[in-house]
Amino acid sequence: MELLSVLLQISDYIGTIGGAFGVAVSVIGAAFGISKIGKAAVDGIARQPEAGSDIRTTMIISAALIEGVALFAIVVSGFIL
Amino acid sequence: MIDKINKILLLLILSLATSFSINATTISPEVVEHGETVAEEELNVKELILGHLADSYEWHIWSSGEKHVAISLPVILYSKNSGWHFFSSSKLNHGKSSYKGFQIASEGKYKDKIVEIDGLGFENRPLDLSLTKNAASLIINSLILILIILGVARVLKRDPLKSHKGFAGLMEMFILMIEDEVVKTTVGKDYKRYSPYLLTVFFFIFINNLLGLIPFFPGGANVTGNIAVTMVLAIATFLMVNLTGSKAYYKEIFWPDVPTWLKVPFPLLPIIEFVGLFTKPFALMIRLFANIMAGHAIVLGLTSIVFVTVDLGPTINSSMTVVSVLFTVFINFVELLVAFIQAYVFTLLSAVFIGLARHDDSEIKKEMVKSKVN
């Protein structure tokens, strides 16, 4: 009962709260994805140090692409906010 | 001994850089003679950041107290009622005065853009070809880019076989790195036809990103963080990919090599492939725009932490200033890296799309036949 009355008080700002949540969740997703790439890249370089610079280039490109997707979400949430 | 002295000097310089904050004091409201208080203007951080990211009709250089120094850029308008107009944007006085029926709208659909108030009081927007801050910055940055590249080209042409030193050698290494790693490997055999466009795109985006990070004139305009600029770059890639696509490429889009039911009664896969033609440049546009705009917004936000905490007392203000300066320096380094990476990724993806479009099936079929025979 108290929960409903509290929710009623903040009902004007639910859009802003939703926008903020959107940004936060998309950042979590991006960080998760890029950390997996980083781990795989470090493992690959540890197994085969000669392929080091190829792996590094691939890692940077994949990280930039994933960040691009996360930034789509941020741009759209920015419009909502 | 020398190392120790160097370390101590470095520490001193670093503490000097952050210590300029400590004499910030709170600004109390002044009491004017006849008893009225003049309140200090509230700092609206969101408006400040959005104002710096957006385009404007004048180029603000610095302000000291109440004096503002700004370059008033020319305004070029064509209105259906009154024809061409050329005047300096100082006549519009930051939106406070109107000139010949034109003024900067302060709210509504055309906020912060020039509108014409006609006789009935309606606003309509004339054809606006003004030299705004972003347009002037594009011209300045392009001139800088042309000077750098043509200067380097002249030095390198004089003696093509010698290994050059200095700036020309640096640019030679840089250009060759992009050409060998990005263009040659991804575009394939006729890479020479596309390397002028791809190298131009790379250096254009790189120079504009870098100059957007410099806070004073002639840098400091948010060029690549403007979606119109990145849209034009994406359209250029789109035209480059599709106008020179091979027949196999178009065949793959409109009649792909898949089971017939996906194509015949309702062309599902052709529609998906056709939409894919447009989403790839769209992703290029949004990626560059959002990365650069977000970077500028972060730097501006961290810098305005200093001003937001002014009212909270000198200790909080000075400590937040130290934090803000260190973070801002760190984020500026990250933004330098992002400037290079975004230019590199844009060029790489454009090269990949061009390579995919030039992909020739008949070559692959010849190779497969050869390997089967052997």
- Whether residue B271 lies inside any domain: the answer is yes
Q: Between chains, do B286 and A71 touch, taking CB under 8 Å as contact?
A: yes
In a domain, B345, yes or no: yes
Band of pLDDT at residue B346, cut at 50, 70 and 90: very high
Number of domains making up chain B: 2
For residues B165, B166, B168, B169, the Cα torsion angle rounded to the nearest 10 degrees is 40
- Residue among A57, A61, A71 minimizing CB distance to B291: A71
Q: How close, in Å, is residue B346 to chain A by CA atoms?
A: 10
More confident residue, B289 or B368: B289
SS3 for B209?
Answer: helix
Domain end position, chosen among B106, B130, B154: B130
B85 and B186 assigned to the same domain = no
Q: Are residues B264 and B307 in the same domain?
A: yes
Q: Which of A57, A60, A68 sits opposite B287 (nearest CB)?
A: A68
Do B87 and B180 belong together in one domain?
Answer: no
Is residue B248 in some structural domain?
yes
Among B286, B342, B344, whose Cβ lies nearest the Cβ of A75? Answer: B286
> Could you report the per-residue pLDDT of B36-67, keeping only the tens digit for each?
443 446 677 888 888 888 888 888 888 777 78
* Same domain flag for B81 and B117: yes
* Contact between A71 and B290 using a beta-carbon 8 Å cutoff: yes
**B120 and B152 belong to one structural domain:** no
In terms of domains, do B315 and B339 share one? yes
B158 and B82 belong to one structural domain: no
**Which of A16, A71, A72, A79 is best to mutate for the B interface (most B CBs within 10 A)?**
A71
Q: What is the ipTM of this complex?
A: 0.79
Are residues B212 and B288 part of one domain?
yes
**Of B108, B130, B152, which residue constitutes the final position of a domain?**
B130
Whether residue B158 is found in the same domain as residue B230: yes
Give the whole-number percent of chain B exceeding pLDDT 90: 27
Task: Write out chain A residues lying below 8 Å of B348, CB-based.
Answer: 61
Both B259 and B298 in a single domain? yes
**B146 and B105 belong to one structural domain:** no
Question: CB contact, 8 Å: A62 with chain B?
Answer: no
pLDDT band at B18 (very low <50, low <70, confident <90, very high): low
Residue B5 lies in a domain: no
Q: What is the pLDDT of residue B252?
A: 81
Q: pLDDT for B109-137, tens place per residue?
A: 777 788 887 777 777 888 888 888 999 99
Pairwise CA distance, residues B191 & B177, whole Å? 14
**Residues B163-185: pLDDT tens digits?**
888 888 899 999 999 998 888 88
pLDDT value, residue A40: 94
The residue among B299, B306, B301 whose CA lies nearest residue B330 is: B299
What per-residue confidence (pLDDT) applies to B197?
93
Question: What separation in angstroms does the CA of B82 have from each of A48, B73, B77, B86, B197?
Answer: 71, 21, 10, 12, 41
| CA pair distance B6, B371, nearest whole angstrom | 65
Is residue B32 in a domain?
no
Residues B152 and B287 reside in one and the same domain: yes
In a domain, B353, yes or no: yes
* Cα gap A70→A73, rounded to integer Å: 5
Domain final position from B79, B96, B130: B130
Residue B37 DSSP code = E
In a domain, B298, yes or no: yes
Cross-chain Cβ contact A71/B287 below 8 Å: yes
Whether residue B22 is contained in a domain is answered as no
Largest CA distance in chain B: 103
- Mutation for testing the B interface, residue in A57, A67, A81 having most B CBs under 10 Å: A67
pLDDT over 50 at A55, yes or no: yes
Q: Which domain holds residue B126?
A: 68-130
Taking the Cβ of residue A75 and every Cβ of chain B, the question of whether any pair is shorter than 8 Å is answered with yes
What single letter denotes the amino acid at residue B14?
Answer: L
